[in-house]
Amino acid sequence: MNKFLTLALSILLILIVVSCSASDEETKDNKQDNQTDFRQSKWGMGPDEVKLNETTPPISESNELLLYKTDFMDIPAQAGYVFKKSALVKGAYLFEEHYDNPDDYIASYERIKIALIKEYGAPSLDEAKWINDESRDIDEATGKAVCEGEVIYKTEWVEEKSLIKLLLEGANNNCRQGIVFESKGNYMLEHPQSEQSAVTSEEQ
């Protein structure tokens, strides 16, 4: 009886382990199926599918672009969807923030970057540089210099299916900030092989 009981318990334990493993795999697969690429949509979706995932009508639309009013981290923004041959390939947040003190744009950029790092991990690229004098100390950069187009801030992440880029730049005393999401497949189609190293190196 003891041998029989031990055998029965062993079989039961094996069945439980197999069942849990299958359940974990199923949960993982379901989670991957439910993951989105930009807002509530996935790469390859058509304009009509994307519109079903939004709760308000677009403020502008065409065959290649859908625009929505929204906010991101309490910052007013426009959310844009870009389509190629009726398939979603890019998405972006263009922030509509306005600060009297230009240095506040840099502070906002850093706050958004921290939030993105919490979600996507360490970036593959994180830089700030002077456009016409790269030897100049970046610590001298001010919000005014950014808004005049002298300095650009850029942080990038390479995900399984997407490239994500946070940008802060300016021109004519006007700062512009945004986050661009792009299908990795679309990026590799649009760029020559020499410019794909940052993408392919992350996959190896």
Which one, of 118, 122, 187, lies nearest residue 156 by Cα? 122
Q: Please work out, in degrees rounded to the nearest 5, the angle formed at the alpha carbon of residue 104 by the alpha carbons of 100 and 105.
A: 100
Task: Please say if the pLDDT value at position 159 is more than 50.
Answer: yes
pLDDT of residue 194: 46
pLDDT of residue 81: 98
Distance CA 103, CA 146 (A): 9
pLDDT, one tens digit per residue, over 103-134 is: 999 999 999 999 999 999 999 999 999 999 88
Q: Would you state the structure tokens that stand for residue 31, as one six-digit string?
A: 């989670």
Task: Please say if the pLDDT value at position 180 is more than 60.
Answer: yes
pTM of the entire predicted model? 0.79
